[in-house]
Amino acid sequence: MNIRHLVLATLTVGFTSAAVALDSIPLDQLQPGLWKVERKMEKLDLNPVEYETRNTEYCASPKKEIARVLSITNMLCKAEDSKIGENRYKVHAKCNLFGIVGENTTIITIVSPSEYTADSETIGTKFGKKQHRKESISAKRAGDCKE
């Protein structure tokens, strides 16, 4: 597990309290349904830099998915959040776990009830080896879930 996966797994988008996080970011605005998500990742510490794009779909509530990630962050990292614009929220998490040290900053933008983005940067070390990752997520609701 690299530092980006750890912080993202524990997080871009980490809070001191999961309850505070959910109150701070109006996730209720995002409609449940079928969501298509594109993740673009950059491994900036590698030479040459590696790029990866993943496309996934899930049928759920974005609020539940994000809340699940935030609850893990609450247990493993020191984090804080702030509103930085009308529909933009910043989450900054610091983790120091078992030889893995890092900071993650994630900006979540709620574009509409059917679209959100998250831009994340993680810088740290894993057992002394530097890691630097960027990730951009673009998620759009594609319709209702098929039962």
* pLDDT digit string, tens, across residues 106-119: 899 999 999 999 99
What is the pLDDT averaged over residues 25-53? Answer: 92
Would you say 63 and 116 are in contact if contact means Cβ atoms under 8 Å apart?
A: no
From the list 11, 9, 12, 45, the residue with the least C-alpha distance to 128 is: 45
pLDDT at 73: 67
CATH architecture of the region 3-143? Beta Barrel (2.40)
Q: How far is residue 45's CA from residue 53's CA, in Å, rounded to a whole number?
A: 17
What's the chain's Rg over C-alpha atoms?
Answer: 15
The CA-to-CA distance between both ends of the chain, in Å, stands at: 34
Q: Which residue has the tokens 């969501």?
A: 35
